[in-house]
Amino acid sequence: MIRVGVVGATGYTGAELLRLLAGHPQACIEVVTSRTESGRRVADVYPNLRGRLDLAYSDVEPRSLARCEVVFFATPNGTAMQHAPALLGAGVRVIDLAADFRLRDAAQWAHWYGMAHACPQLLAEAVYGLPELHREAIRGARLVANPGCYPTAVALGLLPLVEAGVLAPGPLIADAKSGVSGAGRTARQSLLYAEVTDSFKAYNVFAHRHHPEIVQTLAGVASDPPQLVFVPHLVPMLRGIHATLYARVRDDAADLQALYAERFACEPFVQVLEPGAHPETREVRASNDCRIAVHRQGPQVVVLAVIDNLVKGAAGQAVQNMNLMFGLAETSGLAAPGALP
């Protein structure tokens, strides 16, 4: 059993990680920390875990964490980078679900996240944990930067086009929609039920932190750096991201359905749907799946991609990365079907 620590497990991402790890056949949760809930039983904060996880939150203690084989950080941005060097030094592997190690450029990171990076020397070593792109590197990684929720859906939906080099000039457009759990559990007026329900809005047009992350991923596989327009929206639902992706391909671009099917043929968590399909976010609710449909009309392509923001967009992908890092079956602990209805 792999000894696991989870730092910052009071947010939704951390709680989802505990839900998945509690049912993982080869992982054992040793330490769960929280600044705000230290001393409380986890099951009192997340009652769905009652009878499944008999632990209390503790303060962050480096010695306890150092006894783990892997530590997940489900903390606000800027926390994991404070602890990662020491843990890595102690031989502990680190998976950060926040953004601390996602951008390779420390100056760019500082610009978008509003603080200097605490350990820029680790940025080159950190592996961006998108298994569909960096599987081999993840297997050998000490430090994994778990991708953001939007970047996972957008990158998976666009990678085949970018990698194949079939795009015509012009911007890629990612119109993305997320359920409210993506905004976290901190009490904010704008996230109250009575503010969010029965309404729909865009936010952070041209100004979302996931923009540089997506661009970095796509640029890594493109001959020319892609131009991306990214607009996120808030949907009155709990879980789910739906990315509607607009691109134009060259006239000689071959069969895109086949392109996508082949690209993801061996992926355990990505399913390319039949032509004409329209995936719904509820299909992947509480599961680690990503479902993709490809629509084309002449040069115009519309790709639809759905994930559960808390699973493939966060905690599930983190477990997938752990499985790879420790040589386990990639689907271990992640096989349960989604809950529908």
Q: Which residues are catalytic?
A: 149
- Nearest alpha-carbon partner for 33 in 63, 54, 9, 14: 9
Is residue 244 close enough to count as binding a second copy by CB under 8 A? Answer: yes
How many Å from the N-terminal Cα to the C-terminal Cα in the chain?
Answer: 34
**Near a second copy by CB under 8 A: residue from 1, 28, 40, 48:** 48
Q: Which of 83, 177 has the CB closer to a second copy?
A: 177
237, 281 Cβ separation under 8 angstroms: yes
Is residue 231 close enough to count as binding a second copy by CB under 8 A? Answer: yes
Q: Which stretch binds a second copy (CB under 8 A): 26-34, 104-112, 251-259, 279-287?
A: 279-287
62, 3 Cβ separation under 8 angstroms: no
**Near a second copy by CB under 8 A: residue from 62, 165, 225, 236:** 236
**Near a second copy by CB under 8 A: residue from 5, 279, 313, 316:** 279
Q: Which of 98, 284 has the CB closer to a second copy?
A: 284
Q: How far is the CB of 234 from a second copy (least distance, A)?
A: 9
Number of residues lying near a second copy (CB under 8 A): 82
DSSP 17-81: HHHHHHT-TTEEEEEEE-SSSTTSBHHHHSGGGTTT---B-B---HHHHHTSSEEEE-S-TTSHH
Q: Of 170-209, which residues contact a second copy (CB under 8 A)?
A: 170-171, 173, 175, 177, 179-181, 183, 185-189, 191-203, 205-206
Q: Which of 124, 193 has the CB closer to a second copy?
A: 193
Whole-angstrom distance, CA of residue 270 vs CA of residue 285: 14
Site string for a second copy, 136-165 (x = CB under 8 A): ------------------------------
**Near a second copy by CB under 8 A: residue from 163, 280, 326, 330:** 280
133, 156 Cβ separation under 8 angstroms: no
Whole-angstrom distance, CA of residue 203 vs CA of residue 275: 31
Packing angle, helices 149-164 and 210-219, rounded to 10: 30
Is residue 295 close enough to count as binding a second copy by CB under 8 A? Answer: yes
- Nearest alpha-carbon partner for 185 in 310, 31, 54: 310
**Near a second copy by CB under 8 A: residue from 242, 256, 292, 316:** 242
Coil vs helix vs strand at 268: coil
Is residue 261 close enough to count as binding a second copy by CB under 8 A? Answer: no
Q: How far is the CB of 271 from a second copy (least distance, A)?
A: 6
Q: How far is the CB of 23 from a second copy (least distance, A)?
A: 6
Is residue 6 close enough to count as binding a second copy by CB under 8 A? Answer: no
178, 149 Cβ separation under 8 angstroms: yes
Is residue 3 close enough to count as binding a second copy by CB under 8 A? Answer: no
| 74 alpha-carbon distance from chain centroid | 11
**Near a second copy by CB under 8 A: residue from 102, 210, 248, 312:** 248
